[in-house]
């Protein structure tokens, strides 16, 4: 089976290098109102996200600052789901009839869009998964069980999301291997000097996050990959917080495995992908077994399908992956360089504004916006983050409170929990002003 993409005439966006984004709608290249002077105009972009026009039950407009948890969805993605279910809902790679062929073409076109979005050289190297967590579990199971043996070392970091920690714990428990961790500095930057020392253990794999979901730290992934390769290790990068926010070029990073979730990058829940080098995918046994992943099945043995379908057992979440393709197109039109610039500018606005309005506020993570994504963890002294989030909710401001699936990182920083505000393409300075006002209300209620 081969992957064919439909021609780009139906909606291929202009390249991100163009100073002005063109309209995706057709040949009449009118100026895109979402981009002005090379910058995103979030006030215009917001109008494409129906949920942001809704009000909370208290009548306040929704100020959504929890995009690191999951992003909101633009009309283009909602339409992709709607059109699939209304017009061509059919299983993929099976139906010898019109809508079956259409669903297969759209599903495989989404794979090409995703490959292009992260600059993967070959769309066959994109395995669709439910999310980043499933992609990491796939690698830990299929690659890990045949590659990790007694005493083998896997190097992780202290800032990993549980998704890039627990699968490796299970693997080394089963295979009698060992985990080592790259420590962080107090402001949340990886200690590459210690990494260098850990590499002398000749690890089989180094797995780390591209962007920290809790602190926002953007790690030097290309440099770390080069260091790991020089020591003979393979590299897995958790890109769940990177792909939605910074330009990602898996070819340039040169890692071996790169995973991400769709739902954090404006796509539906249940979509996501693993990118891996073709020869690695071909050398790995299947993860889940069943239909679709086989070429031939006999009662006592089977032969596997080609990659990537070898790793996509059962009917996939067809609509969600088609929606992921639509989200990739949407972000390509905006331009990931502009997305990154937008979130960096918000950070450059938010950090000093929060500190000025609330000098007692505890802010965590690197204070240099050049190495930080749009993630702002904080604490109001004397108020538990859950109470902070609860009072903010009354102002319509949605933030995350808790440990954000990074309990070891919170332990390292000696924090039981934090509140976290996080940005996306639709986040405005007005949202940040609402957060600042909301924190004042928290302090009023708690008398601190």
Give the footprint of another protein on this chain (CB under 8 A).
383-387, 390-391, 394, 401-403, 407, 410, 416-417, 441, 445-447
If DSSP codes are grouped into helix, strand and coil, which group holds residue 238?
strand
Nearest-angstrom CA–CA distance, 242 and 221: 11
- The CB-based long-range contact list for 49-55 (8 Å cut-off, 24+ gap) reads 49/73, 49/74, 49/75, 49/426, 50/75, 50/78, 52/426, 55/396
Least Å distance, CB 408 to another protein, is: 13
Q: Report, in Å, the least distance between residue 420 CB and another protein.
A: 13
Nearest distance in Å: CB 80, another protein = 31
Which residue, 203 or 385, has its beta carbon nearer to another protein?
385
Nearer to another protein, 20 or 441 (CB): 441
Catalytic residue (one of 171, 405, 413, 432): 405
Q: Tell how far CA 86 is from the center of its chain.
A: 28
Between CA 363 and CA 420 the distance in angstroms is 10
CB 323, min distance to another protein, A: 27
Element (H, E) at 437: helix 429-446
Look-up of token digits 């639709």: 426
Q: How far is the CB of 402 from another protein (least distance, A)?
A: 5
CB of 109 closer than 8 Å to CB of 325: yes
Under 8 Å between Cβ of 417 and 402:
yes
CB of 411 to another protein, least distance (A): 10
**What CA–CA distance (Å, rounded) separates 312 from 3?**
15
Cβ pair 338, 34 in contact under 8 A: no
User: Closer CB to another protein, residue 343 or residue 393?
Assistant: 393
111/403 with CB nearer another protein: 403
d(CA 273, CA 118): 11
Q: Report d(CA 188, CA 373) in Å as an integer.
A: 13
Q: Is 39 an annotated catalytic residue?
A: no
Instruction: Report the b/e string of 403-425 with b at 16+ CB within 10 A.
Output: bbbbebbbebbebebbbbbbbbb
Nearest CB to another protein, comparing residues 99 and 436: 436
Between 116 and 410, whose beta carbon lies closer to another protein?
410
Q: Is the CB of 89 or the CB of 169 nearer to another protein? A: 169
Cis amide leading into 35 (omega within 30): no
Query: Cα–Cα distance between 291 and 19 in angstroms, integer?
Result: 46
Shortest distance (Å) from residue 393 CB to another protein:
9
Instruction: Tell me whether the omega of the peptide bond preceding residue 308 falls within 30 degrees of 0, making it cis.
Output: yes
Catalytic residue numbers? Answer: 405
């Amino acid at each position: 089976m081969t992957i064919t993409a439909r021609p780009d005439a139906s909606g291929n966006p202009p390249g991100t290098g163009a100073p002005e984004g063109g309209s995706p709608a057709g040949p009449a290249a009118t100026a895109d109102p979402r981009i002005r002077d090379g910058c995103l105009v979030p006030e215009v972009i917001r109008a494409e996200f129906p949920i942001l026009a809704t009000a909370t039950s208290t009548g306040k407009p929704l100020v959504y600052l929890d995009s690191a948890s999951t992003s909101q969805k633009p009309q283009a993605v909602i339409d992709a789901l709607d059109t699939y279910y209304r017009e061509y809902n059919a299983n993929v790679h099976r139906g010898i009839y019109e809508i079956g062929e259409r669903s297969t073409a759209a599903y495989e076109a989404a794979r090409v869009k995703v490959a292009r979005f992260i600059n993967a050289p070959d769309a066959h190297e994109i395995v669709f998964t439910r999310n980043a967590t499933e992609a990491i579990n796939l690698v830990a199971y299929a690659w890990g069980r045949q590659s990790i043996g007694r005493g083998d070392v896997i190097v992780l970091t202290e800032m990993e999301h549980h998704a890039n920690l627990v699968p490796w714990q299970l693997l080394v428990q089963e295979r009698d291997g060992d985990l080592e961790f790259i420590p962080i500095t107090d402001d949340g930057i990886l200690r590459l000097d210690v990494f260098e020392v850990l590499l002398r253990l000749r690890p089989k794999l180094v797995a780390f996050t591209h962007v920290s979901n809790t602190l926002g730290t953007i790690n030097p992934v290309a440099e770390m990959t080069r260091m790991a390769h020089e020591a003979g290790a393979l590299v897995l990068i958790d890109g769940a917080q990177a792909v939605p926010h910074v330009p990602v070029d898996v070819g340039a990073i040169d890692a071996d495995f790169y995973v991400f979730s769709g739902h954090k990058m404006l796509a539906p829940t249940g979509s996501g992908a693993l990118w891996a080098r073709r020869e690695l995918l071909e050398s790995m046994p299947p993860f889940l077994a069943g239909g679709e992943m086989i070429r031939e099945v006999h009662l006592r043995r089977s032969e596997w399908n080609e990659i990537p379908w070898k790793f996509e057992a059962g009917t996939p979440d067809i609509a969600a992956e088609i929606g992921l393709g639509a989200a990739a197109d949407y972000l390509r039109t905006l331009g990931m360089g502009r997305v990154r610039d937008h979130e960096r500018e918000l950070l450059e606005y938010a950090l000093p504004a929060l500190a000025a309005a609330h000098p007692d506020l505890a802010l965590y993570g690197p204070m240099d916006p050049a190495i930080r994504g749009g993630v702002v963890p904080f604490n109001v002294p004397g108020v538990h983050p859950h109470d902070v989030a609860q009072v903010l909710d009354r102002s319509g401001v949605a933030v995350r409170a808790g440990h954000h699936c990074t309990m070891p990182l919170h332990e390292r920083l000696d924090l039981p929990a934090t509140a976290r505000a996080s940005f996306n393409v639709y986040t405005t300075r007005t949202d940040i002003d609402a957060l600042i006002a909301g924190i004042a209300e928290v302090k009023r209620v708690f008398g601190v």
